[in-house]
Amino acid sequence: MSRIASSEMLKQKIEEGAAVFGVVGLGYVGLPLIVEMAARSGNHCIGFDICPDRAQQVNDGISYIGDISSKELAPLAQQKLIEATTDFSRASECDVIVICVPTPLNSNNQPDVSYMESAAAAIAPHLKSGVLVTLESTTYPGTTEEILLPAIQSDELTLGENLFVAFSPERVDPGNETWKIGNTPKVVGGLDEKSTDLAAFFYGKFIDTVVPVSTARAAELSKLFENIFRCVNIALVNELAQLCERMDIDIWEVIDAAKTKPFGFMPFYPGPGLGGHCIPIDPFYLSWKAQEFDFHTQFIELAGRTNKDMPYYVKRRLMDVLNTQEKALNGARILALGVAYKANIDDMRESPAIDVISLLGEKGADVRYHDPHVEEYTQGEERVSSVPLTPAEVARADAVIILSGHTSVDYEMVAENAQLILDTRHVMPSYSSDHIYKL
């Protein structure tokens, strides 16, 4: 089959709704993607996951991801527009496969691409001629070409002839009610021109705006740049917050004043540290890859270290707050409000709140937490449960520390009953009092 015939045939199948779409990995990225894909394209979609319970929940129409409701998922599952399986041999049914698996760092802050390698190895024996494979997992420039392509290419499948490969970075923002999968512009870069064209055509079936770039490497770096930009600016404001505390200046007032400038300024806010799967991790992907080119990303690495130090600063700040009442952290009862990495979600990936709570515990504090979105979590081998947020619980604490700014929390009640409050999220600006301290 010629290159043109193979690619044009796939385009035609996608256009007619006859193509089968596959998604490998049904987590925070994969599940929202497959729901949008099925709902807006009308194509049959198969989700692949190594977890049988997760696959069963999808088939039962039960969502386990906060951004996707069961009301959205259930009709698609009932109509068989979406089905989930642990049988990767069914990749042979798919005309397009999107890989959405985790790409964490190992203990040495080096990229761990093992999940991606496993996903590629699982689908490779079953890929049909003329298939499009796209990777959405955030990673360093060159991954699609250097790791994914060799894993799936074979004597029967040749890039640009009957195999098409592209990278398209996920842009999922948990809890964002405005920007979802469908209306967030999608960057796409293929390993050849035909792959870019096909991937852009595919995503255009269910995403409003597709932004093609010249190469997969450009697309890979674009995602890293987006998050490095945020990481560096958050590090800057976190450092300024520490300086402002010494200078007795309100950093939040400074930010509010600066953002009145209608040009040349974008506000970023301090916090107890960075959370989520992207911003705390992505900069180190580029730093690791840069060494291959004898280049050291000192600016990026400094920002990463500054943000990683924030939980330690928060611990020291709480110790100072307790000292105002002649209390020690050792033996103090602390109520932590929020363990999710940001407001109004249940996502705890890389949450700085967990680091803060662990540091306080290491210093002998008796720490309890309340989070309306997280009923319990595992710390080591121990299951820790959220306590009810009552006036009595607040009053019993020697100090309350706000680590996630969930809007459903009754902060007025907290302000009225707490002995001391350390607010790391600036959720209590209207409750100014001698017992309320900011980051």
Catalytic residue among 45, 94, 231, 278: 278
Which contiguous run of DSSP H or E holds residue 118?
helix 114-123
* Number of helical H runs and strand E runs in the chain: 16, 15
Q: What is the CA angle 186-189-192, rounded to 5? A: 150
What's the predicted TM-score (pTM) here? 0.90
Between CA 152 and CA 406 the distance in angstroms is 44
Which residues of the chain fall below pLDDT 50? 1-3
At residue 7, the pLDDT reads: 87
Query: Which stretches within 25-113 are classed as H helix?
Result: 30-41, 52-59, 70-78
Distances in Å between the Cα of 17 and the Cα atoms of 8, 41, 42 are 14, 7, 7
Domains and CATH numbers, the chain: 3-214 (3.40.50.720), 218-308 (1.10.1040.10), 309-439 (3.40.50.720)
Between CA 10 and CA 4 the distance in angstroms is 10
Between CA 339 and CA 136 the distance in angstroms is 27
Note whether 224 and 282 are within 8 A (CB). yes
Active site residue 278: yes
- Strands of 421-423's sheet, edge to edge? 366-370, 333-337, 399-402, 421-423, 436-438
Note whether 92 and 126 are within 8 A (CB). yes
At residue 195, the pLDDT reads: 97
Question: Within 13 Å of residue 387, how many CA atoms lie on the same side as its CB?
Answer: 15
Q: Collect all residues with Cβ–Cβ distance below 8 Å to 395 and sequence separation of at least 6.
A: 417, 418, 419
Q: How many CB atoms lie within 10 A of CB 182?
A: 15
Euclidean distance between the first and the last CA atom of the chain, given in angstroms as a whole number: 64
At residue 1, the pLDDT reads: 41
Distances in Å between the Cα of 13 and the Cα atoms of 8, 130, 133, 266, 301 are 9, 11, 15, 44, 46
Q: Which residue has the tokens 């990777």?
A: 135
Q: How many CB atoms lie within 10 A of CB 215?
A: 20
Beta strands in 104-184 (DSSP E): 131-135, 163-167
At residue 5, the pLDDT reads: 60
